[in-house]
Amino acid sequence: MEDEDLESNPKKLPGQYKVAIQELSAFSSSESQTWEGRARWVKGILGAACISLVAGVVLDLGKVVLPLGVRSQFIFKLFVMMKIVLGASAGSAYCLAGMSLVLPLQFNRVREEFMGAQQCLGIVPILVGAFILGCGMALAGGCTGKVLVQVGSGIPYSWVTLLGCFSGAAFYGIVQSKIEPYLIVGKMKSPKLEDYGPLKKVPFFVLATGLAVCMTIVIVILEVLYPWYETIPGGTTLWRTVVPPQFTGAILGILQIPAVLLLNETLGGSSAYMTYTSQFLRVCKDCPVVLGHLNSFRTGVANSCSAVALVFTIAGAAISSIAGGTYGKYEGVYPIEAFAGGFCVIFGSRLTSGCFTGHVFSGVALLSLKSMIAALTIFAGAITVGFVYFTVDPFNYTGRLGGAV
């Protein structure tokens, strides 16, 4: 069913989707019929392609998305992933803090949109979703963005993780209307950190910069204790086929600037899976009505940009790994773990209204209290599964790394 059919039959729509469908139809029409609209599409698509291509390249060069290496972080055997996480979060905070002074209109628009998406979400679904997301990361050895780099880098069975992600997106789209009443349980007064206690009088720039400095200090400490060049994968060459993880993280943080200016949003990736999954709604006449939440991801410039970003992230990783001679050289996880992990990663991401990148890189830098809670819970879930799995079967959890790290 086309969007025009939905608009012409508003009585068929659930109440919460009537306005959304009407706005979507009007927006799509204006975007496609005016020069300004076409320019926005072109700018968005090209911006998403370029940003994602760079992200795919630097993530592969950082070698921070190798599944068994990611798993090792959750049992505190390696700290490569922690360095990129802190580097990306700190880089994002520095850049967004600067934008809050130099480009306040663009920054405030993006921040308010991010906070608005979390406003009605209760703390309970955030905790549950983030924990599920973390469990999935420990199983699959990746998240919504990392799996794309794994696919591009030729990691065995990473495509199975990708299938699990799409399955998780489809499942959430099907059950969303059933669980929607429970998504507001534990609603908070405000998602903004500065809206609480003595922080109310502190400007965003000061808080974000202070947070970034603290994370930078932790990175320095980790680097002194665990030098990056001592934990690089086998078969790599320093500064040629592998670069410091904190450097990779810093580049990702800098990418927040073009993301805000060209895409009017911060970095994040779980919605792309919903966009691709929603295309199958075309095969059923009543599906767009019955699955209204999933249908909301089917069209529009923002959804198109996220779909393009998914493809170009894979492409960037493929270019980097092939050029560096590391394509397909590293171990993956078993298929059942890959699929289950991918499923949990996306289902948890949608339940908590944001993926690992969206919460940990962008949300923390935007001083979202809900994202900070989600970030801690993600690691709690991953660490729990990691230690349980490692205790039961250490060889299959990380032992197969052997001399690769």
pLDDT above 50 for 19: no
Mean pLDDT of 144-172: 95
Label residue 36 by pLDDT band (50, 70, 90). Answer: confident
Label residue 33 by pLDDT band (50, 70, 90). Answer: low
* 255 residue type, one letter: L
Kindly state whether residue 255 falls inside one of the protein's structural domains. yes
Q: What is the pLDDT of residues 125-141, one digit of tens each?
A: 999 999 999 999 999 99
- Quote the CA–CA distance of 349 and 343 in Å, as a whole number: 10
pLDDT above 60 for 20: no
- Percent of the chain topping pLDDT 90: 63
- Quote the CA–CA distance of 143 and 65 in Å, as a whole number: 9
Kindly state whether residue 109 falls inside one of the protein's structural domains. yes
- Quote the CA–CA distance of 344 and 330 in Å, as a whole number: 23
pLDDT above 90 for 399: no
Kindly state whether residue 308 falls inside one of the protein's structural domains. yes
DSSP-assigned states of every residue in 182-207: GGGTT--S-SBGGGSGGGGGS-HHHH
Rounded to the nearest 10°, the torsion over CA 262, 264, 269, 273 is -100
Mean pLDDT of 34-50: 86
- Comparison of pLDDT for 389 and 284, the residue scoring more: 389
Rounded to the nearest 10°, the torsion over CA 43, 46, 51, 54 is -150
The pLDDT of residue 405: 42
The pLDDT of residue 363: 94
Residue 191 to residues 205, 260, 368, 383, Cα–Cα distance (Å): 17, 20, 5, 25
Label residue 76 by pLDDT band (50, 70, 90). Answer: very high
Kindly state whether residue 217 falls inside one of the protein's structural domains. yes
Kindly state whether residue 30 falls inside one of the protein's structural domains. no
Place of tokens 């405030």: 108
Measured from the Cβ of residue 101, the count of other Cβ atoms closer than 10 Å reads 11
The pLDDT of residue 204: 94
The pLDDT of residue 403: 40
Kindly state whether residue 7 falls inside one of the protein's structural domains. no
Burial status of residue 344 (CB atoms within 10 A of its CB: 0-12, 13-18, 19 or more): buried
**Which of 108-122, 201-215, 313-327 is predicted least confidently?**
108-122
Asked whether 211 and 93 are in contact (CB, 8 A), the reply is yes
Asked whether 346 and 172 are in contact (CB, 8 A), the reply is yes
* 3 residue type, one letter: D
- Average per-residue pLDDT in the chain? 87
Q: What is the pLDDT of residues 163-212, one digit of tens each?
A: 999 999 999 999 998 998 888 888 888 888 888 888 888 999 999 999 99
**pTM as predicted:** 0.88
The pLDDT of residue 231: 84
Kindly state whether residue 10 falls inside one of the protein's structural domains. no
Kindly state whether residue 6 falls inside one of the protein's structural domains. no
- Quote the CA–CA distance of 278 and 309 in Å, as a whole number: 16
Q: Which domain holds residue 163?
A: 17-22+40-397
- Percent of the chain topping pLDDT 70: 90
Mean pLDDT of 3-15: 41
Label residue 124 by pLDDT band (50, 70, 90). Answer: very high
State whether residue 242 is helix, strand or coil: strand
Give the number of domains in the chain: 1
Residue 12 to residues 8, 23, 56, 88, Cα–Cα distance (Å): 9, 16, 42, 45
Mean pLDDT of 277-291: 82
Q: What is the pLDDT of residues 221-272, one digit of tens each?
A: 999 999 998 888 877 778 878 899 999 999 999 999 999 999 989 998 888 9
The first and second tokens of residue 237, run together, are: 């060459």
pLDDT above 90 for 381: yes
- Quote the CA–CA distance of 148 and 222 in Å, as a whole number: 27
Q: What is the pLDDT of residues 286-307, one digit of tens each?
A: 777 778 788 888 888 888 899 9
